[in-house]
Amino acid sequence: MAVLVTGGAGYIGSHMVWTLLDAGEEVVVLDRLSTGFRWAVAPQARFYLGDVGDRALLRRIFAENAIDAILHFAGSVVVPESVAHPLRYYENNTANTRTLIGEAVAAGIGHFIFSSTAAVYGRQPVPGPVPESGIVSPETPYGFSKLMSEIMLRDTAVAYDFNYVALRYFNVAGADVQGRTGQSTKGATHLIKVACEAALGIRDHIDVYGTDYPTPDGSGVRDFIHVSDLVDAHLAALAYLRRGGAPLVANCGYGRGFSVLEVLRAVMAMEKCSFKVNLCPRRQGDLGSVIADARLIGQELGWAPKHDDLDLILRTALDWERRLSQRAATDLETIYRKLASGRFR
């Protein structure tokens, strides 16, 4: 049997593909390459170029491959962009997920793992780590688009022979410790990605949104989880579903946080550098502190983190940025050689 990974050319999806292959799984990837890269997909995986909302393509994939599980990473993830363009998010994250679920049910594929987010939580009445039972009242269309997908999964599992795990990510960061893949999206907005680019001179500054939160230094506090630990949680979820586990919604985080300014200081110290930091007003939808209560995932899936170390997260992220720069230089050199030889005529 094979596993379908949607968005498998993207940041988290490409890590998932490598992890599945390492575990001996047969892997099929579907990605439209809007933010992902074909070269990021492990060569052992079978690749389909297209949109997860394309019913005909999904039916072709299901007909050509013996799929028993779907890991759904495809989607749009930039919170401020969702505020500016909500309909794009409801189409790509919610409507397309509904199409994928429907085609999975029709094809008899009963295992589904969904890439959800801590953005489904609203402002909590009690400070501290947020449990899965916390108030779900998203502040942005991005959060709502993911929550609506969770609701569809819940209702589908009641009506059909279909089961799922929805994993609510906190702040994913870092890169594959073997250097095979990492966060490569151009113009990415993830804090650690942006900070690494600033440290290496790729960006000339970094903007910090909000310095008046009720936190120790006024900047937002986030629970950063290494991407390799996150994809290991998905692998554990796949095993859980295959052995007959019940529908599950679980947080993916470490249960402790670092502030934005702490992260920036740590990057500067690691690289022995400094870069310009602009202090900006809060953005719509941002919360002061978002930390996971991560007990349930350990209890239900037997998952335990292996990379719970901010320095490790930062080092793998920085190493990947250097590899990306080397790749870009190599690609440019190849283009120049082709132009000089006339092969582009």
Is the separation of the CB atoms in 263 and 224 below 8 Å? yes
- Strand 205-209 relative to strand 276-280, pairing: parallel
Residue positions annotated with a catalytic role: 142
Q: Are 31 and 7 in contact (CB under 8 A)?
A: yes
